[in-house]
Structure 1
Amino acid sequence: MSAVLTTTGAKASYFAQPYNLGAVGFYFEDLEDYQSKAEGLRDDCGNPVEEFELQYIDGDHARLFSALNISQAYLSDWFDLLDELGDDEDRYLIACHLADMGYDIGELSRRWDDYRVYRGTAGDYAEEIVSECYEVPGNLAFYIDYERLGRDMVLGGDITELEHDLILIGG
């Protein structure tokens, strides 16, 4: 399962499920849509409905929505975060990683510039680092096990494998 955004800029669909069993929930696509529908919602006794469980129905940011446990309290912050992410796939991947690590929604944008996404294996990254930092003589280059060096970097916490051929550097 790839974490890559499939359709950049696509709208998402959400559902607000009332905790009040006497009311019917509604679909929404943005904060204004949510607010207008939530304000006017009444249960079958005519009382206003105030609390909802928010569900991510369709879109490209389900993983991040779930990792952040978005609720009514953070809905405004959620849409602000989506504006900040824009179509930047690397930022999205970094934000998902940070959310999985337990960072809250307010900390993500302050931290994602501390990381960088590398497309390739840990071995590829190790080979690139060695070639940038050292001049390895030609006859000695054949004896360096870049796959093992990359695996050691992962095990040592220097880099993080997000998925196959996707490495996170920094932190």
Structure 2
Amino acid sequence: MPALYAQPYDLSANGFYFESMENYAAKADSNCNDYGNPVEEYEIQFIDGDQMDRDLAKAWGINQANTGQYLEACESWDDHDKLVFIIAVGEVGYSFDPATVSPSDFDVDIYRVDSMKELAEQFVEEGLFGEIPEHLAHYIDLDSIANDLAMDYTETEITGQRLVYRAV
């Protein structure tokens, strides 16, 4: 579970670390500024956790209103679901409703390859271009196929891993 920090917008107040909404609520309810007034508004910051959850927080745009849904996603989504969301929202710019979002809302194809050329090689090996006789296989222009694929696919790096994706 990621560790978050609630940084008050009130400069005369102290912030606090939290890892759950229950922990956040308990600390926020008792947090007062130097003048004894309750603190109402916080900037939520990602402090510690794995890189996937950090990238998810960035794509999610965590804030005081959607932190609970973010923490729920961190706990219940697997890495593939998080990756789909990061690409769809963080890279492509899809919008989402934090209350109802599901990774299945986004149509994203992800390939764990380092380059378009590697994706072209994979597609040829999988027979996407039909049966290619072995004596002609070395005449296939993989660079040209990779160039064509770049019209519909995009290369990215998330959590230190090179990926190619297509978002429909």
How high is the TM-score relative to the length of structure 1? 0.80
Deviation at 1:80, TM superposition (A): 2.1
Q: What's the counterpart of residue 3 of structure 1?
A: none
Q: Give identity over the alignment, percent.
A: 35
Q: What's the counterpart of residue 78 of structure 1?
A: 70
Sort the Cα spacing of 1:74 and 1:19 in 2 relative to 1 into closer, same or farther, 3 A.
Answer: same
* 1:14–1:28 CA contact under 8 A, matched in 2: yes
Higher helix share: 1
User: Does 2:118 correspond to 1:127?
Assistant: no
Match for residue 55 of structure 2 among 57, 63, 69: 63
User: Does 2:22 correspond to 1:32?
Assistant: yes
How high is the TM-score relative to the length of structure 2? 0.81
Deviation at 1:41, TM superposition (A): 0.8
Q: Which amino acid aligns with 2:145?
A: L
Q: Which amino acid aligns with 2:36?
A: G
Match for residue 37 of structure 2 among 38, 47, 67: 47
What does residue range 96-107 of structure 1 map to in structure 2 within 5 Å?
96-100=86-90, 101-102=92-93, 103-104=95-96, 106=98, 107=101
2:104 and 2:80 mapped to 1: Cα distance? 15
Aligned-pair Cα RMSD in Å: 2.0
Sort the Cα spacing of 1:170 and 1:43 in 2 relative to 1 into closer, same or farther, 3 A.
Answer: closer
Q: Which amino acid aligns with 2:156?
A: L
User: Does 2:83 correspond to 1:93?
Assistant: yes
Q: Which amino acid aligns with 2:137?
A: A
Q: What's the counterpart of residue 148 of structure 1?
A: 144
Q: What's the counterpart of residue 14 of structure 1?
A: 4
Query: Aligned residue pairs: how many?
Result: 156
Aligned to 2:13, the other structure's residue is in SS state: coil
Instruction: Please identify runs of 4+ aligned residues in structure 1 that moved more than 6 A.
Output: none
